[in-house]
Copies of this chain bind each other. A is one copy, B any other.
């Protein structure tokens, strides 16, 4: 990926990171979890940057959470040797994982079904590798995992230990929290998340498995949870940047959103009363997550170059390298409102998706002279 600076200014479109906001977001969650007595294992799938991951790790963080083996390798290369790979294991990846084990990264794996447990056991024997495994618990019926009362949970744990591998414990992700519309719903989702995983851990322990790790995670539940009794770690990642979807959930406000896409105005569409900018879906991503929320933010909310939100303007539509700015109320934007060549910022619907479109982060913030760039890693 290339990333270009001309005359000491990054070219548009590019991704800006407000370091002060990021630091505040990290500290806010850290303080919450400290009050609740449970450490954070930050999920680095949002940032994919060693500079940011290091800042996300609190003094008591056991390690990080990753979503790809490329992340595992990149962060291990940067010295982080306690990692949970939080995607149900596909057997075809076990050879590569065994190499990581031999090189010193005992990557904690996620196992979400008995068939995969059987395949894991075969690979452990073939590769002479004792994998460490968390069993994924399905707390909301939305993705993978064992229901807490599923007989297959104990069966899978047995297959794992029979193969000489370790059952470290249980983990879950409460994807259903993303469908909430108010705080009470999020609090209940966090309760259900905790209950599911704690009861599954109890069952494992009653059956003789040690299962020391009880891991939960999502930025919304981490923000609204009131009780983490029995939980040993929380995984969250989006909180580092926040986004319009999280603001729509009530997890943050637009003033907390730490990343934005810098863009330049190309021209005015007089017939429609709309303005064209040079950030299309390639820079913003195709994510339309806020379409299902009370306030649909289109492809993003528009801010002045300084970061101040322009309340009535959003990105109505995109093509690959064009964004179309319109008023939220459907009225035309007047021709005196902006000018060709003016720079604006666009707040993202979904931080993970928008950041993934960029080679890295241009830092902005009070303590920075500007011009600093932190690269991101990509791929699988």
- Report how far A67 CA is from B322 CA in the complex, Å: 10
Residues in B with CB closer than 8 Å to A281 are 287, 353
**With A91-B341, A116-B340, A267-B88 in contact, do A2 and B319 touch (Cβ < 8 Å)?**
no
Q: In the assembly, how many copies of this chain are there? A: 2
Tell me if A95 is interfacial: C-beta within 8 Å of chain B.
Answer: yes
| Given pairs A2-B380, A91-B341, A115-B268, 5 additional interface contacts (CB within 8 A) | A4-B379, A91-B264, A113-B267, A144-B266, A147-B271
Q: Does A296 contact B (CB under 8 A)?
A: no
* Beta-carbon contact of A67 and B271 below 8 Å: no
Once bound together, how far apart are the Cα atoms of A90 and B220, in whole Å? 38
- Interface hits, A110-135 → B, CB 8 Å: 112-113, 115-116, 119
Cβ contact of A112, chosen from B266, B271, B286, B356, cutoff 8 A: B266
Stretch at the interface among A6-14, A182-190, A221-229: A6-14
Q: How far is the CA of A37 from the CA of B265 in the complex (A)?
A: 37
Q: Is A372 an interface residue (CB 8 A)?
A: no
Query: In chain A, residues 28-72, which have Cβ atoms closer than 8 Å to a Cβ of chain B?
Result: 45, 67-70
Option from B2, B45, B112, B357 in Cβ contact (under 8 Å) with A377: B2
A247 proximal to B (CB < 8 A): no
Task: Among B115, B286, B339, B377, point to the contact of A115 (Cβ < 8 A).
Answer: B339
Given A90-B278, A286-B353, residue A319 in contact with residue B143 (CB < 8 A): yes
A92 with B341: CB separation less than 8 A: yes
**Known pairs A96-B4, A141-B271, A379-B1; A90 contacts B321 (CB<8 A):** no
**CB distance A90 to B4 under 8 Å?**
no
A33 to chain B, nearest CB (A): 22
Interface assignment of A324: CB less than 8 Å from any CB of chain B: yes
Nearest B residue to A96, CB-CB: B6
A-B contact pairs, 12 of them (CB 8 A): A13-B380, A45-B320, A67-B320, A88-B322, A90-B340, A113-B266, A113-B340, A115-B268, A141-B272, A143-B324, A281-B287, A358-B379
Main secondary structure of the interface of A (DSSP, over half): loop
The 10 closest A-B pairs by CB, nearest first: A113-B267, A286-B286, A91-B341, A115-B340, A90-B264, A1-B378, A88-B266, A2-B379, A286-B287, A90-B278
1/0 contact trace for A318-358 toward B, CB 8 Å?
01111010000000000000011101000000101100111
The answer, yes or no, to whether A214 is at the interface (CB within 8 Å) is no
Q: How far is the CA of A358 from the CA of B378 in the complex (A)?
A: 8
Whether A175 is near chain B, meaning CB under 8 Å from some CB there, is yes
User: B91–A2 contact, CB under 8 A?
Assistant: no
With beta carbons under 8 angstroms apart, the residue of B74, B138, B266, B379 that contacts A359 is B379
The answer on a CB contact under 8 Å between A2 and B378 is yes
> A93 interface residue, CB < 8 Å from B?
yes
Interface residues of A (CB under 8 A from B): 1-4, 6-7, 9, 11-14, 45, 67-70, 73-74, 87-93, 95-96, 112-113, 115-116, 119, 138, 141, 143-144, 147, 175, 264-269, 271-272, 276, 278, 281-283, 285-288, 319-322, 324, 339-341, 343, 350, 352-353, 356-359, 377-380
Chain B nearest CB from A15 CB (Å) reads 10
| Pairwise interchain contact B340-A359, C-beta atoms closer than 8 A | no
| Interface-central residue, A138, A147, A380, by most chain B CB under 10 Å | A380
Q: Which residues of B contact A285 (CB under 8 A)?
A: 286
Least CB distance from A249 to B in Å reads 16
- Do A341 and B6 touch across chains, with their CB atoms under 8 A apart? no
Take A14-B380, A268-B113, A380-B14 as given contacts and tell me if A70 and B2 are in contact as well, using a CB distance cutoff of 8 Å.
Answer: yes
Assuming the contacts A12-B380, A144-B269, A286-B286, asked whether A321 and B67 have C-beta atoms less than 8 A apart, the reply is: yes
